Structure 1
Amino acid sequence: MGGRTRGGDAVRAEQNGLIAVLAFGGIVVSLSQTLVIPLLGVLPAILDTSASNAAWVVTVSLLAGAVAGPVMGRLGDLYPKKNVLIGCTAIMVVGSILCALATSLWPMLVGRALQGVGIGVIPIGIATMREMLPAVRLGPSIALMSSSLGVGGALGLPAAAALAQYGSWQWMFWGTAVLGLVIIAMMAARIRLLPAAKPGGTLDLIGAFGLAVGLISLLLAVSKGTDWGWGSALTLGLFALAAMAFPVWGWWVLRHPSPVVDLRVAARRPVLMTNIASVLVGMGLYAQLIILPQILQLPAATGHGLGQSMLAMGLWVAPGGLAMMAVSPISGRLITTRGPKLTLVLGSLVIASGYGSALFLMSSTWGVMLASALTSAGVGLAYGAMPALIMASVPHSEMGSANSVNTLMRSIGTTAAAAVLGVILTQMSVDFEGLFVPTETGFRVGLLIGCGVALSAAAVAAMIPPPWVTEE
């Protein structure tokens, strides 16, 4: 009996190590995505370029992550997930080193693109948990892994702001490179090498290229439309290219024996409805990241700004990310006891209540912090539920790809939120001492949109059917 207990303890220790390594990896790769945001004001001087060119340092990481996510997810189905996880992290490390050494725009853009590829660690990590953990531990572990996105952002903003203000900006990139190397060593030691879920398949390179053309065209048009003009030839041309590329890509992958994304699986109602809800939750997450930091940093003389420094802003919004981590055990228990569908509905409603409260609390730093924490807690609940819904609805051989597509849907939501709110806040702005700043009404309209999007996510989530009603 004692031997069985020691054996059970060893198994549980192995599982705990796996969960810790994957969650830590998720935190670091999400940290690498957000650490340049406080640097945007000084990047033109650092890279000897214009402000519009420097903005590509953020955009290129988004585009690379969006394109690489489904490809890495498919590789996670075709090859052992341990190897793909280590490969994703290694690419992120190389990107971090390039960024640390960059003195001009192009090396920085290449480095940031490679950092964007690292985001594949999160969906593949979730699929790895499905393979290696018992059902009783799966819900809480997925919730913890999903919440790593918020923790990375929570740590990244104040840390990057402090370094930008008091230290050397290169430290941020060297730090993520060192952490990435630590994660690689931990993955090599703590994750078992299991056979590939779909060993007979091959990577559909033509399908991957077609997906890249469609996604880059769409996301570029959406994210840069405000800067280039929504009626400009470039924006309209990109939308037209996306409109042509996606049908051709769909025709191709439906006929390929090992498609980069299995559209037949993606069209199943539970998967489709979950992905639609994911777009809306992604919009709900990003709306607050656009609005609340601006309220904190605008001068108090505007009448609705709170006059905080860059570092203080990062510290005031940091509890939001920590709230995502704090609710992950609750999300896990709800997923296990009540199901992921109810958890997603509840999370969306909590997001909506956070935006609603912000309408009344935006006049004080403590109020903004509380509204941010409430909204982020809802995101934490929802982010844990979405992968659980996906994995309950797809075959074992499609888990990596399906989770990556779900992550892509959230990215599309955040990009759409940035575009919509960018237009609103630009149109509803006033001249303040030579600078155009959003009005209080503009911020309130943005908060109402965030609330409405979250309520829409709850309505969509409520209509997700059980996975067993789908056709095989």
Structure 2
Amino acid sequence: MTDASANPSRHPRLLLVAMAFAGVVTAVMQTLVVPLLPTLITAFNTTHEAVSWVVTASLIAGAVSTPVLGRLGDMYGRREVMLGALLSLVAGSLLAALSTHIPLLIVGRTLQGIALAVVPLGIGILRDVLPPERVASSSGLMSTTMGVGAAVGVPLTSLIARYADWHAVFWMSGGFGLVALLLVLAFVPRTRTRLGGRFDAVGTLGLTVVLVCFLVAVSRGSEWGWTSPLVLGLFAAALLVGVGWAYYETRIPSPVVELRSMANRGVLLSNLATLLVGFSFFVNSLVTSQLVQEPPETGYGLGYSVIVGGLCMLPASLTMLLFAPIAARIAAVRGPKTTVMFGLVLMAVGYLLRLFTSEHLVTIIVGATIVGIGTAFPYSTLPALLMQHVPREQTGAANGVNVLMRAVGQAVCSAVVAAVFGSMTMETTGGTAPTFEAYLTTFFLAACFAVAALVVTLPVRERRSGIQKNPQPSAPGATGEPQSR
């Protein structure tokens, strides 16, 4: 491993702005096309199932890229790999903006999804180049951008799609990606924390097969049938290949995912809590807009437009961004574990409140905002709790797995919500719609997942000394020198 020191940033505030902007832009890609799905069905004269791959492709690409590119960043330089991920976003946006056939649009969305790895890479860079006392707060802000960007994507796309052609959405995303790329080039210094070594191509292929099989089965289970041979076969393939992959990864010196470190209780429980939080948070983003758009004839719907539905999540997005630094300050005094647990309690309270206040626009927005504030705490401080148990040279890969857990939680959430809405329906003049009880069920499940995350977090031991700085070597030839300043 090369020297663990890094070139300190000459402009730490501009560095943080560049990192946060890049994080928001890449997170926006995850929900960018959700309001466009009906338009794309008409534009390409195709089916809902075909168009839904525009969402699924980005999800799978992001899930695969986060641990893989995180590991590549640890080995060969996080700044360089981040620039490559942002180039992929720009290229994917350009391809999507110029596409005239659905397969090209899906390829473009796949390239956009790869950029999700920017967040774990950014956390690794911040850990390398900032003073220790600023790492936790800055990493927390970087992590929170995922929630902010995902929530901003829907109203932003809705506004653009109303006044312009759908191609304009991808021209916009390409422009944002290019600005993020230029900001990283200008203000993010190169780091010298590099493991080097040989890239684990076999392990990467195995991980890709596992994630693709699992996520396709989860995202398509409601449409194809959970007991259909295809879905069961995908789950079986994910399980069998996963067992073989795990066996292989524990027997090579430089695996794509360091499973021995991931088995550490602090790391394992932090990742499990992240998965549960990902599920709970995504309910807020997924159903709030749809709830206010339901027709009044349902007896509970408010009949608002797509734009109003999207804007309902804007206060939650803004409060997440505002409360992230507050959460970091509390974590600096009370520790990240206490801060995470406080946020989880607030999320559960917000969802329980929504069980009784989901019939009026103002109270719906208030409930969604309370959940957003609560989400800011675990999203911004779980990385700090995780990094207390992770060696510096594994920062990128470890945070990549953590982001992966969040994506898996969101994918499972989408499948569960689809199953609930599909099983609890009512007839309207425009077809079928979920019953009010279906929405209440999803809020109750989200509260349960927040409580489950709270229970999982309880056994995690905090290291009051802060982020681990002198790790034990994890691979032959690796060293664990402290970062020089």
* TM-score, reference length from structure 2: 0.92
Q: Does 1:116 align with 2:126?
A: no
- Please give the alpha-carbon distance, in whole angstroms, between the structure 2 residues aligned to 1:323 and 1:150: 11
2:29 maps to: 32
CA deviation string 1:52-98 (max 9, x = no partner): 10010001100011011111000110111111111110111100001
- Please give the alpha-carbon distance, in whole angstroms, between the structure 1 residues aligned to 2:313 and 2:303: 14
CA deviation string 1:116-171 (max 9, x = no partner): 00000001101111111112211221121122123323432112111222212111
Tell me, yes or no, if the aligned pair for 1:278 and 1:410 is still in contact at 8 Å.
yes
Tell me, yes or no, if the aligned pair for 2:9 and 2:187 is still in contact at 8 Å.
no
* One of 370, 395, 402 as aligned partner of 2:398: 402
2:240 maps to: 244
Secondary structure of 2:301's counterpart equals: coil
1:390 maps to: 386
Aligned positions of 1:47-446 closer than 5 A = 47-199=44-196, 201-446=197-442
Secondary structure of 1:56's counterpart equals: helix
- Please give the alpha-carbon distance, in whole angstroms, between the structure 1 residues aligned to 2:428 and 2:40: 24
Tell me, yes or no, if the aligned pair for 1:154 and 1:322 is still in contact at 8 Å.
no
2:4 maps to: none
1:462 maps to: 458
Tell me, yes or no, if the aligned pair for 2:96 and 2:104 is still in contact at 8 Å.
yes
Residue 136 of structure 2 aligns to which amino acid in structure 1?
G
1:16 maps to: 13
- By how many angstroms is 1:48 displaced? 2.8
Residue 124 of structure 2 aligns to which amino acid in structure 1?
A
Secondary structure of 1:431's counterpart equals: strand
Secondary structure of 1:260's counterpart equals: coil
Tell me, yes or no, if the aligned pair for 1:79 and 1:195 is still in contact at 8 Å.
no
Taking only the aligned residue pairs, the percentage that are identical comes to: 37
- By how many angstroms is 1:244 displaced? 0.3
The structure where helix makes up a greater share of residues is: 1
Residue 217 of structure 2 aligns to which amino acid in structure 1?
A
- Please give the alpha-carbon distance, in whole angstroms, between the structure 1 residues aligned to 2:391 and 2:312: 42
- By how many angstroms is 1:468 displaced? 8.7
- Please give the alpha-carbon distance, in whole angstroms, between the structure 1 residues aligned to 2:34 and 2:102: 16
Q: 5+ unaligned residues in a row in structure 1: which ranges?
A: 1-10
* TM-score, reference length from structure 1: 0.95
- By how many angstroms is 1:291 displaced? 2.2
Tell me, yes or no, if the aligned pair for 2:347 and 2:447 is still in contact at 8 Å.
yes
- By how many angstroms is 1:293 displaced? 1.6
Q: 5+ unaligned residues in a row in structure 2: which ranges?
A: 1-7, 473-485
- By how many angstroms is 1:172 displaced? 1.4
Tell me, yes or no, if the aligned pair for 1:358 and 1:368 is still in contact at 8 Å.
yes
- By how many angstroms is 1:348 displaced? 1.0
- Please give the alpha-carbon distance, in whole angstroms, between the structure 2 residues aligned to 1:368 and 1:238: 38
Q: Which runs of 4+ in 1 moved over 6 A?
A: 468-471
How many pairs are equivalent? 461
Residue 121 of structure 2 aligns to which amino acid in structure 1?
I
More displaced stretch, 91-100 vs 157-166: 157-166
- Please give the alpha-carbon distance, in whole angstroms, between the structure 1 residues aligned to 2:416 and 2:442: 9
